[in-house]
Chains A and B, each alone.
Chain A
């Protein structure tokens, strides 16, 4: 068998196996989209499709690029690598952003153009303004406390022994692994309320409160403080994220600088503010902006705990309610645009941060 024949055989085998795998992928795709199928099999087929399908996609595209004339190959190949990502982002983020913006200038059923009517509606409606105010408070208070407590905890835990530190950090991080819905249940047992005479309290907070001789309080009905009680839930969730990343940043501060400051007579407080904090400042910014974006999009906590009633609505939750409960696409889209526009300054900070990093490289 000549080398040329063998090469062709290899190619034929390669193409054959590609077609077979492709057929398997198509079959499993049909199978997975069938909601009646056995769940266990779907899981296996899903994993196969996810892993094999993606590998095949990239390998196949690379194979095609190799068949191109040599002078085009280097120009086309990068797009094979970024292409799928750009395609998916285009469909799932860029297209919806444009589409929603268009919808926000249309009426309730997206039929007629209404100009800025949806926005004027929102900015003149009392309830909408309350949700805007609430969102603003969330975005200020939650990141402040989450980053503040996370930073303090990371700094303090750094001074403990290794095992104590690991345990303490795990406890703070644990809420991260809990869904917002799960968190809402956890907190129902904190905020639960029963009027006097309707049995003993089953919420921790009222248990403590009545134990001190007070009357029970309906925490989640108390405007405007109920907003703060809901924020505490997200602070509880996000502090772990801030703490873990800041802790790693603190550990990366060179030991020599801290030792030098100590020899110069600086106390722990001064070392933290003059040495540690400036060194990790960029990480603090990254963590804070990440949490700001998360908070701005908060939906689940409010939706499950109060449904946005009792003056606790926020923009993201209003958006979902407008669209899916009130069936008003125009208002829903307008709320979405407000969310997006308000986040642009945060995006600008992120992009600037990235450029600075690139220049230092």
Chain B
């Protein structure tokens, strides 16, 4: 080691080692990336294959006759998109997802601001409790909320919440997603909002701004990165949710969301493998587009709080 160090100047030695390192590094990255990509490629190629082919040969066999026209078809997509009520499910999913993303972010942003910059009794304890709620299993909450929706809330024989007949409606699902998403949202947003420079708030207060004005005019514009990053999280989560939709919205074709439509296709996969692949890919397109277009935002905002500590 020392002999080598004498022979080569330090910087040069680093350069040589780095160029030598490159190949193993590139190879390792490529191998992991290929392993990660293979399952999705399989689905993608399968979704464009005719049904008999899917059932009789593996998807990788298309690589042998890529340019033969009979290898490919759009039939699966046309059936899924136009005949199976899939477009209805797509709209239902939007009707569920957009409010279920907007509501928790708004509610969490107000709460996060209060936890970070307003003084009130029990602030610390309340915040610790909110963070603690992050780990309550979703499944644990489903049963009582279902009962709440269908027959009101009763604790030890006393009615505390009247029956709201919410089950099977969109607000039922929005509010459920809001409740389950809030702890993480408040945690992330509070980290970010709490990290904004305090001088900003002091000067705004001196100028006579109210908390409400500070929040809407200062905090919200400054928090756009973290708001966007949580929006993606929540969007992906709600879009991909199966359980909450199944339980609170029901399995009727009129109200079902995309994940339910796909799960139904999985149920009788013996005959419908070909539709399944197209359906699954259609359901992935929007989340993947959202993710790719907002990727930069997402990384920057999310880590602003967590890395600092």
Contacts and interface: CB of A to CB of B under 8 A. Distances in A.
A92 B303 contact: no
Contacts of A149: 32
Given A47-B99, A85-B111, A181-B262, A283 B58 contact: no
Given A177-B284, A177-B291, A336 B137 contact: yes
A198 B260 CA distance: 31
Nearest to B309: A357
A29 B171 contact: yes
B102 A47 contact: yes
A160 B291 contact: no
Interface in B1-55: 1, 5, 10, 14, 18, 21-22, 25-26, 28-30, 32-33, 36-40, 42-43, 46, 54-55
Contacts of B59: 189, 202, 204
Contacts of B29: 153, 156-157, 160, 164, 168
Nearest to B27: A156
Nearest to A158: B25
Contacts of B55: 199, 202
Contacts of B126: 82, 86
- State the main secondary structure of chain B at its contact with A: helix
A170 B169 CA distance: 36
A175 B38 CA distance: 11
B98 A43 contact: yes
A50 B178 CA distance: 11
A47 B98 contact: yes
A225 to B, nearest CB: 18
B168 interface: yes
Nearest to B243: A299
- Interface centre among B102, B133, B179, by most chain A C-beta atoms within 10 angstroms, is B179
B163 interface: no
Given A43-B91, A184-B266, A200-B56, A88 B175 contact: yes
A35 B255 contact: yes
Contacts of B42: 186, 189-190, 204
Given A47-B102, A81-B114, A185 B277 contact: yes
B67 interface: no
A293 B134 contact: yes
| Interface range on chain A (Cβ under 8 Å from partner) | 35 or more
Interface stretch (A1-9, A12-20, A51-59, A114-122): A51-59
Nearest to A178: B284
A320 B277 contact: no
B148 interface: yes
B133 A94 contact: yes
A89 B108 CA distance: 11
Interface in B140-163: 140-145, 147-148, 153, 155-156, 161
A159 B21 contact: yes
B82 interface: no
Interface string B245-259: 001000010110001
B118 interface: yes
Contacts of B308: 357
Given A77-B118, A85-B108, A202-B59, 8 more contacts: A35-B255, A42-B91, A43-B95, A54-B103, A82-B115, A92-B178, A185-B276, A351-B128
16 contacts: A35-B252, A42-B170, A43-B91, A51-B106, A54-B103, A54-B106, A85-B110, A149-B32, A179-B259, A185-B266, A187-B39, A202-B56, A236-B36, A245-B303, A282-B309, A347-B132
9 nearest CB pairs, A to B: A92-B179, A179-B240, A50-B99, A81-B114, A96-B144, A85-B111, A39-B91, A96-B141, A99-B144
